[in-house]
Amino acid sequence: MEESFHMLLYRAFHAQRNFLRPSLEEIGLGAGQPKLITYLAEHGPCHQQELANYFEVDPATVSRMIDSLKKGGFITQVADESSRRRNRIDLTERGREAASQWKARCRQLEEILLQGFDAEGRQRFAGDLRRVYENLHNWKGRAEHGGF
């Protein structure tokens, strides 16, 4: 009765997203953007392709998010020195600030999210989530001709 892991994951993720939604508007970010500026804040400047690969989203999606972030003054996008077809994406001061604000929200989220977990439980749960991701990710390479 709707106890599939697919559904459990969906519900957990969806609750999280709904929970964070108000913070988005508060900071002035769109739905998919926080992960980009978080990545930039932690890994430094990079190209759009790197973002698309890392988050496994379409390059077109990255392109539009970059557009929007640029309009909002969170990032800069300049042609790379080494290759004119590449764009170097970097945070502005405002972007750095937004990333830090977002990080704070995520920490607050986590406090609520993990109520009732002891330290060991958190560790284990994190490991489980990583394993699930890796199981699917590794399979992906193996699966020729699309899926099953």
Partner DNA sequence: GGTTTATTATTGATACGGCAACTATTGCTA
Partner DNA sequence: TAGCAATAGTTGCCGTATCAATAATAAACC
Q: Which residues bind DNA (CB under 7 A)?
A: 18, 21, 29-33, 47-49, 52, 56-68, 77, 83-87
Binding site for its own copies (CB under 8 A): 1-16, 18-20, 22-23, 26, 35, 38-39, 42, 55-56, 103, 105-110, 112-117, 121, 124-126, 128-133, 135-137, 139-140, 146-148
Q: Which is nearer to its own copies, 82 or 136 (CB)?
A: 136
Q: What minimum distance in Å lies between the beta carbon of 81 and DNA? A: 9
CB-count exposure of residue 22 (10 Å: 0-12, 13-18, 19+):
exposed
Q: Which is nearer to its own copies, 81 or 118 (CB)?
A: 118
Q: Which is nearer to DNA, 61 or 123 (CB)?
A: 61
Q: What minimum distance in Å lies between the beta carbon of 10 and DNA? A: 10
H or E element, residue 87:
strand 87-91
Give the CA distances from residue 86 to residues 20, 33, 80, 137, in Å, rounded to whole numbers and listed in that order. 32, 20, 5, 27
Side chain identity at residue 63, one-letter code? S
Place of tokens 């590794």: 138
Span between the terminal Cα atoms of the chain, in Å: 24
